[in-house]
Amino acid sequence: MLGRCLNRPDPGQDTRNMHKKNVFYAQSGGVTAVINASACGVIETARQHRDRIGKVYAGRNGIIGALLEDLVDTGKESAAAIAALRHTPGGAFGSARFKLKGLEENRSEYQRLIEVFKAHDIGYFFYNGGGDSMDTAHKVSRISRQLGYPITCIGIPKTVDNDLVVTDTCPGFGSVAKYVAVSTREAALDVASMARTSTKVFVLEVMGRHAGWIAAASCLAGEKPGDAPHIILLPEVPFAQQRFLGRVKQCVDKHEYCVIVVSEGTRSRNGRFLAEAGTRDAFGHAQLGGVGPVVAEMIRKKHGYKYHWAVADYLQRSARHIASRVDVEQAYAVGKAAVELALKGHNAIMPIVVRKSDRPYRWSIGHTPLSRVANREKMMPARFISKDGFGITAAGRRYLAPLIHGEDYPPYRNGMPRYVELKNIAVPRKLKTGFKI
């Protein structure tokens, strides 16, 4: 009897559901320390509007979850678990490196998406990713109308690369910037204290294949002339080996040590990645190391300095333990805004961060059409790069500085951060058809 009672659907609830569309949320591309904070913003805000929004489903492994009809019901998660997303790095539902093809090339993918969305009564598509994902969200919006099942599509910005256009910054970037600035300052103190008898050169390789935003952020480690980092290598500046090696020597002569931060995408004048340069083994196999060891070895060959190098790789973009509070707040805010804008009737837009002032730092959330951000990339402007190409200007610092403001520590237990693992309970499939990716 009790069992029947508990299992009995609430008819009132059901009736209301008939008029409420569900949400589909997906994470896309490389994850960040704060992408789950955006998810948290979406889900918590949707839960505040139960009168107008039905279920919030998430795609398992991003958009692939939609194509495979592999959805997760976030409604099965407690409020505490959803709140904990705010301080949990990685992608809580799984992300995917999967770009939908053009409409002409593969119309069936889009048709499948709409079919799945229709089957699950999805009225809102929130896609959390970078420039490619904004393109996808834009296309889905158009196609859904063409196919007679219009869906409200909102992009939610996310990328450690900070290369989305229009928005002042991208959630994910501030935290990797803070990690890189803090790590550079800490490692520099180490090297400075060892330089007399040991390591004189330290090279830190950071992410940034096309744009040098992350390497640039390391400038915040220094506060006065002579402070590390002494040299920053950016993809925007063609690498000039002799000038670079000369600068390293100057620096060691003057300060006894030299700290270099290098973007993985640093290229020579001919456009070739430095990481690819001259590092095939005796069998002609491609090099194993990244650009960090290449640069370090180049210095040793020329000057003979003892060196160390580090490659931060995923550590930098998952380092929630040292996230920027500003970044966490903005990541949450764009998630929240996505839902609110959708409810206001907006479509095919992306919430953006608008900077109101540098000092004190003030920002608000605006929005821009997806068509303006899709498939575009924002490079570092030339006015942010010092004349010699090895540093960041005052204007660049002014832009970067507030993005790392504030700490937002996760809770700890037994010395370890308490990151949440969701139950991720699957939504029962409704379609008989499968789909091949």
Do 209 and 163 contact (CB within 8 A), yes or no? no
Q: Enter the tokens of residue 16.
A: 């209301």
Nearest to 417 by CA among 84, 54, 10: 84
By CB under 8 A, is residue 94 in contact with a second copy? yes
Closer Cβ to a second copy, 192 or 426, answer by number: 192
Which residues inside 133-152 make contact with a second copy, applying CB under 8 A?
Answer: none
When binding is defined by CB under 8 A, the residue of 191, 328, 370, 392 that contacts a second copy is 191
Pick the stretch among 57-65, 122-130, 238-246, 339-347 that binds a second copy (CB under 8 A): 57-65
Closer Cβ to a second copy, 293 or 389, answer by number: 293
Which residues inside 374-393 make contact with a second copy, applying CB under 8 A?
Answer: none
Do 299 and 245 contact (CB within 8 A), yes or no? yes
Closer Cβ to a second copy, 8 or 285, answer by number: 285
Nearest to 29 by CA among 97, 127, 89: 97
When binding is defined by CB under 8 A, the residue of 54, 59, 90, 131 that contacts a second copy is 90
Determine the Cα angle at 338 with ends 119 and 165, to 5°: 115
Pick the stretch among 5-13, 16-24, 239-247, 275-283 that binds a second copy (CB under 8 A): 275-283
Closer Cβ to a second copy, 46 or 326, answer by number: 326
Exactly one of 10, 135, 161, 388 is catalytic; name it. Answer: 161
Pick the stretch among 42-50, 86-94, 145-153, 232-240 that binds a second copy (CB under 8 A): 86-94
Closer Cβ to a second copy, 91 or 131, answer by number: 91
Q: How far is the CB of 227 from a second copy (least distance, A)?
A: 10
Q: How far is the CB of 17 from a second copy (least distance, A)?
A: 30
Site string for a second copy, 282-301 (x = CB under 8 A): xxxx-xxxx-xxx-xx----
Closer Cβ to a second copy, 37 or 151, answer by number: 37
When binding is defined by CB under 8 A, the residue of 22, 38, 95, 152 that contacts a second copy is 95
Amino acid identity of 102?
G
Pairing of strands 53-59, 71-73: antiparallel
Q: How far is the C-alpha of 147 from the C-alpha of 162, rounded, in Å?
A: 34
By CB under 8 A, is residue 207 in contact with a second copy? no
When binding is defined by CB under 8 A, the residue of 240, 310, 354, 365 that contacts a second copy is 310
Q: How far is the CB of 89 from a second copy (least distance, A)?
A: 5
Give the interface size with a second copy as a residue count (CB under 8 A). Answer: 88
Nearest to 29 by CA among 163, 155, 129: 129
Q: How far is the C-alpha of 335 from the C-alpha of 353, rounded, in Å?
A: 12
Determine the Cα angle at 78 with ends 323 and 38, to 5°: 35
Which residue spans within 167-224 are E strands per DSSP? 201-206
Q: Within 13 Å of residue 40, how many CA atoms lie on the same side as its CB?
A: 27
Do 323 and 175 contact (CB within 8 A), yes or no? yes
When binding is defined by CB under 8 A, the residue of 278, 304, 345, 360 that contacts a second copy is 278
Closer Cβ to a second copy, 17 or 199, answer by number: 199
Residues 6+ apart with CB under 8 A from 374: 131, 134, 135, 138
By CB under 8 A, is residue 318 in contact with a second copy? yes
313 is catalytic: no
Which residues inside 20-49 make contact with a second copy, applying CB under 8 A?
Answer: 27, 30-31, 33
User: Is the C-alpha dihedral spanning 73, 78, 81, 85 positive or negative?
Assistant: positive
Q: How far is the C-alpha of 358 from the C-alpha of 210, rounded, in Å?
A: 26
Q: What is the b/e burial string over 250-262, where b = at least 16 CB atoms within 10 angstroms of the residue's CB?
A: ebbeebebbbbbb
CA distances from 207 to 270, 305, 342, 378 (A): 21, 25, 33, 15
Pick the stretch among 44-52, 91-99, 147-155, 239-247 that binds a second copy (CB under 8 A): 91-99
Pick the stretch among 93-101, 123-131, 136-144, 427-435 that binds a second copy (CB under 8 A): 93-101
When binding is defined by CB under 8 A, the residue of 83, 119, 401, 426 that contacts a second copy is 401
Pick the stretch among 46-54, 103-111, 122-130, 318-326 that binds a second copy (CB under 8 A): 318-326
Q: Which residues are catalytic?
A: 161
